[in-house]
Chains A and B, each alone.
Chain A
C-alpha cells in the first residue's frame, strides 16, 4: 500500500510541476495575469508530494518491503538501518528520486526567500524550475519507477553494493546533488532575465548567493567523494579522472567561473551576457553529468544502444534544456550587453582571464571524457584516455590561474598602474619562489620541479591573499577584532583563496612525495618505508554484521618507538558474496600511513600494500576551506533578506516597471 501511495504522490508532484511550469505562460496567453498566482502554491505542493514519495520509498527500505523491485535489488535483511536509509539513493531509480527531491527543495527555498523579487520575475524563475522538474518526473515515471512491484515478492534482497556501505557515502550523493541541482537556480534566473530582456544590478545581487550556495555544496560533495575514494577503494588514490568524477568536476569548474563573473557583474555591471551564458553552461554540464552517470553509456555504449529508453530521454532533455537556453540567449543576449568599461590592466581583465582558464579547463575535461565514448559509438575503436592526458592538459591551465589568483584581488577595478602592481608584488614573488626552492631542497624528494612549482604557487597565493587582508584592515588597526569586522564577503573570498593554496600544497606534495609498495609479509616480518617500520603480526577471523572479515594487525614504529597499530581488513559480504578491502589509515596533518590487505599468498604470508602519503589531508582541508569561505560570503550583509526587504522599498520604480510588464 505504502509504495502505491509513493507512486501516486510522484504523479501528483508531476501534475503540480506542470501547473508550476505552464500557468504563467497560459495566463499571459489568455490575458489573465492572475493565473500566475498558482505558481508559488504549486511549487510548494510539488515539494510536499515529492517529499511524501521519498518518504514512502524510505519506509519501504526500512520496513524491508522486498515486494518492491528496487528495494529487493538494493537491500537485504542483514543490512543495518542506517545503510537501509542510504540505500534509497544507492542505485538508479532512487538517486533520480533524490535528484527531483533536491530540485524541489531548491524550488521551495526560492519560493520562500524570493518575496522581495518583483512578482513577475519570481514567477518566471519558478516556472523555469517547474519545467525542469516536469522533465525529471516524466523520466522517472516513464523509465525508472522506483515503486515498481516485484511479483512474486522476493524472500530476501540482493544487498546494497558493499562499496556503498560506508558512512562517507551516506552524505556524498545528497551533498553533490544539492550542488549539481542547485545550479538549476542560477540557470532559471538567467532564463528569466533573458525572457525579461534585461539584467540589472539587482539581478546579480539575487543570483549570486544562490549560485555560491550551490557551489559550496558541489565543492563539499566533490571533496567528500575524493576522501571516500581514498579510504574505501583501497588504492590510496584521491582522484582518478574517472568519467563519474569528471561529471561533477566539469560543472564545478564552470560554476567557479560563474561566481567570479557574477562578482564582476555585480560590482561593475560588466560581463553580463557572459554571466548568463555561464549559468546556462553550468547547469547543462550538470545535466550532462546526470546523463553520463545515469544512462548506462559509461558501462558500455552498446549496452546503452540496446536499452536506449533512459539514455535517449536524458539526452533529449539535455538537448532541449541546453538548446532552448542557448537559442533564447542568441535571441536576447544583445539586450544585456554594455556595462562598465575597463582598461587593460584592471581586476576585470584578470577575472576574465580566470574565466577563460576555468572554461577551457572544463572543456579539456569534457573532451577527455567524451572522446572515447564518441570513438566507440562511431565504431572506430576502443580506447581509453587515462590520467596522463588529464594531468598534461589540466595542470598547465591551473598554473596561470594560480598566478592570476595572486594578482587579481590586489588589483583595482576599472584601471590600475602596472608599476604599482609590480612594486607591490615583487617581494611576494621573490619570497614564494625562494621558500619554494628552499622547501624542495630541504625535503630532498623526487619530483623536484613539481614540488618547487606547487609550493611556490601556493605561497604566492597565500602571501598575496594576506596582503589583501592587510590592505583592508588599513594602517594601525591590524588586530583580531579588526579581522572579525571585515565584510563577510571579503572574509569568505580570503578563506576560499587560502583553501585553494592549501589544496595545491596537498595535491603537489602527495603526487610527488608519496611512496607506495606492494610487499610480501610473513607473520612477524617487517619492512621499512619512508622511515617507518611496518611489522605484520598476522591475520584473524572477525565477524561483522553482514560480512565476515579477515583482520590483519600491522604495527608501525619509527626509530624503535611504536606509533600505532593498524587493522586492515579483507571483508566478504555474505549475501553478495563479494570481497572488499578495508584499508587501515593512521591520519596526520603532514602524512598518512595507509595499509591495505592484499591476498593470502600462502604459508600465513600476505601481500600487503603500504603507503606513505605526505600532506594528503591538505587536499580535503583545502576543499573544506573553500566551502567555508563560500558559506561566509553568502552571509554578507547585503544578501540578507531583511536588508533586501528594505532595499525593495527604496526601489519602487523597478518593481512597478516589471509588474506592468508581466
Chain B
C-alpha cells in the first residue's frame, strides 16, 4: 500500500471519529435541553417548579372543577394530589378519557399567577390506568414526602 491512501484512510477514520463524537455531544446536549421534568401539585404549591419553563404536572381532575368558557374552547379545571391542588387552563379538545376523578398528565408552563397553562393534556386509553407519575405523586403526598428531584432544576 502506498503512503498516500494510508494517510487518506487515517484522515477518513479521524473524520468518522470526530463525526460520531459530534453526534454524541449533540445528542447529550439535546437530551439536556429537551427533558421535561414532572412536578406534583404539592411541589408547585411549595414553589419548587420554575416559572415559564415547559414542565409536566399530573394529578386527579378535581370533581366539579371542570368549566368551559362560553363560546370558546378554553377549559379550566383543577388537578390535585389529594394534598394541594393546582388550577389549569387548556384551550382545545380534551382527550377521550379526560373526566373528573381521572388521573391525567399535562405539559405546559406556569404563569406568574400560579395558573398552569397546558399546551397538551394526556389521558391514557384505559379507564383503569393511572399515569405512573401521578400514582407516585399521590402515594408520596399521602405519606407527606416529596417527589425525587434531580439537582439543578430548582427555581430559576
Contacts and interface: CB of A to CB of B under 8 A. Distances in A.
Nearest to A378: B148
B96 interface: yes
B39 to A, nearest CB: 9
B36 A384 contact: yes
A389 B5 contact: no
B127 A360 contact: no
Question: Looking at chain B's contact residues, is the secondary structure mostly helix, strand, loop, or mixed?
Answer: mixed
Interface of A: 161-163, 234, 299-303, 341, 343-344, 349, 353, 356, 360, 364, 367-368, 371, 375, 379-386, 388-389, 392-393, 396-397, 518-520, 570, 576-581, 596, 598-599, 601-602, 607-609
A384 B92 contact: no
Interface string B93-133: 11011000000000000000000000000000111010011
A349 B37 CA distance: 42
Nearest to A343: B5
A-side binding surface: helix, strand, loop or mixed? mixed
Contact of A302 (B94, B127, B136, B150): B136
A356 B9 CA distance: 15
A305 B100 CA distance: 30
B148 A393 contact: no
A364 B29 CA distance: 12
Nearest to B20: A360
B30 A599 contact: no
Nearest to A380: B150
Nearest to A579: B96
A601 B26 contact: no
A356 B20 contact: yes
Interface of B: 1, 5, 8-9, 11-12, 16, 19-20, 23-24, 26-27, 30-31, 33-38, 56, 68, 70-73, 91-94, 96-97, 125-127, 129, 132-133, 135-136, 147-150, 153
A337 B86 CA distance: 63
Given A360-B20, A579-B96, 11 more contacts: A343-B5, A356-B16, A364-B27, A367-B31, A382-B136, A383-B38, A392-B30, A519-B73, A578-B96, A598-B73, A602-B68
Contacts of A578: 96-97, 125-127
A551 to B, nearest CB: 16
A161 B34 contact: no
A530 to B, nearest CB: 18
22 contacts: A161-B126, A299-B129, A301-B132, A343-B5, A344-B12, A349-B12, A353-B16, A382-B136, A384-B38, A384-B56, A385-B31, A385-B34, A388-B30, A392-B34, A518-B92, A520-B72, A520-B73, A580-B96, A596-B93, A602-B68, A602-B70, A608-B93
B34 A382 contact: no
A596 B94 CA distance: 12
A161 B125 contact: yes
The 10 closest A-B pairs by CB, nearest first: A598-B93, A300-B132, A344-B8, A389-B34, A382-B38, A518-B92, A381-B150, A392-B30, A388-B34, A579-B96
Contact of B133 (A162, A382, A386, A518): A382
A581 B38 contact: no
B93 A607 contact: yes
B23 A397 contact: yes
A234 B125 contact: no
Contacts of A234: 96
Contacts of A299: 129, 132
Contacts of B135: 300
A576 B129 CA distance: 13
B97 A381 contact: no
Interface centre among B12, B35, B129 (most CB of A within 10 A): B35
Contact of B93 (A375, A386, A393, A599): A599
B78 to A, nearest CB: 19
A618 B9 CA distance: 39
A383 B35 contact: yes
A303 B20 contact: no
B35 A385 contact: yes
A581 B73 CA distance: 18
A579 B98 CA distance: 10
A155 B87 CA distance: 44
B9 A344 contact: yes
A581 B125 CA distance: 11
